[in-house]
A and B are shown apart, each in its own frame.
Chain A
Amino acid sequence: MPPGQYVTADFPVLSAGPTPHTPLTEWSFSIAGGREPKMWTWEQFRSLPSETLTTDIHCVTRWSKLDTSWEGVSLDVLLGAVDYDAPYVLAFSDGGYTTNLPVADLLGGKAWVAFGYGGAPLGAEHGGPARLLVPHLYFWKSAKWVRGLRLRATDEPGFWENYGYHMYGDPWREQRYAGD
């Protein structure tokens, strides 16, 4: 367990506003900022190869949940479809949420766009229809209701990062707030 965390059997929900409900017919996932913009409809996204995985997740508010099971499309697949040269992304979501991540943390089997949880479709309150899943960082980096990535030359703070949360958010180094 990372320092300062406790295990919960619940799956707490933390978000800053109402839960958005985007119909799948209006949903898309896009990657901007590469040589060409890339976009998948829900149908196209779901026809991509997906993986199931079991992982621990760690929230900055100190709960950790062990052995959670997910299904999603690896960011290796999604970013592999784009020609780019940027070291950072800003992930963006329905409802206006954003979070920043280094591209290196999305590659190499470390990150997914998840659409399934516990063998069922991912519920809206937990970020469905699809959320980012980057389990090696604090869970606010795993943006709910994710709709795409903007590739960036520089590391620009997202929503919570602008309010003083850490730019990177490594739970093992307890990077909760700026300066940690």
Chain B
Amino acid sequence: MAGTAVRGRLTWQTATVGAVTDETARTRTLRLEVPDWPGHEAGQHVDIRLTADDGYQAERAYSLASAPGEPLAITVERLDDGEVSPYLTQDAQPGDQLEVRGPIGGYFVWEPGSGSGAPLLLAAGGSGVVPLRAILRDRSRAGSSVPARLLYSSRSWEDVIYQSELGFPADGVQVIYTLTRSQPPSWQGYARRVDAQMLAEVAWPAADKPLAYVCGPTSFVESVASGLVALGYPAGRVKTERFGATGQ
């Protein structure tokens, strides 16, 4: 497959925080104004670097939440013992400056031609929804009619990121939730961790040659990716992005 190889040097650039939006109690979307942003593809991430007054620096990677062509944005989940996410989710104010470099990653990406019209299966565990949201936004902006399903596993309804946006999906997009820890009264949807039966019900049949993107904590990605392979998805059509150093 063709890579979006970035063989040039990735330099740190100054980003100015723009609008900030609280998505849930633990997650916040931050717009970043980067004057010389080279553009990106849906699914890519950036490195963020913070420098303390004493010169101490901390860097972390965050998936881009915005589609190509939109104002650059990241959505960050606060980790209580994190070095970077508490600042980004609680303290950062419009006008603050930080450093960013990217875009990074050329495998877990989607562009309107990906999959040659095959249906798109997106599976998100928790904040793994961020790069998949960028894919859905890119799909809409590009006017793609590729059928898409997002299976979104979240602890509770209050933890669902992009709740209002995902409540009005574009034509051809279905959003299916599973709430693993607590559910609102009269919840009719799934209420368990993703398992083989759920995948069999939600995932496009393998015969449709779907293209799958799976992002979330390691245990989620392991179980979804192996479940899709068991349903007949070729391993090469199941792209994964795992985050794990956060204790799930």
Contact = CB atoms under 8 A, between A and B. Distances in A.
A13 B105 CA distance: 16
State the main secondary structure of chain A at its contact with B: loop
B21 interface: no
Given A19-B225, A164-B10, A180-B9, A12 B240 contact: no
Contacts of B235: 17-18, 20, 95
A179 B242 contact: no
Contact of A179 (B10, B221, B244): B10
Interface string A1-18: 000101010111111111
Contacts of A4: 57, 59
Contacts of A95: 235
Instruction: Give chain A's interface residue range (CB within 8 Å of chain B).
Output: 20 to 34
Interface string B1-31: 0011111111000000000000000000000
A175 B225 CA distance: 30
State the main secondary structure of chain B at its contact with A: mixed
Given A16-B240, A179-B10, A10 B3 contact: no
Interface string B217-248: 01001100110110000011011101111110
Given A18-B235, A163-B107, A178 B244 contact: no
B243 A12 contact: yes
B245 A18 contact: no
A42 interface: no
Given A178-B8, A180-B10, 12 more contacts: A10-B244, A15-B240, A16-B240, A19-B225, A63-B245, A159-B107, A160-B107, A163-B4, A164-B106, A178-B6, A179-B9, A180-B9
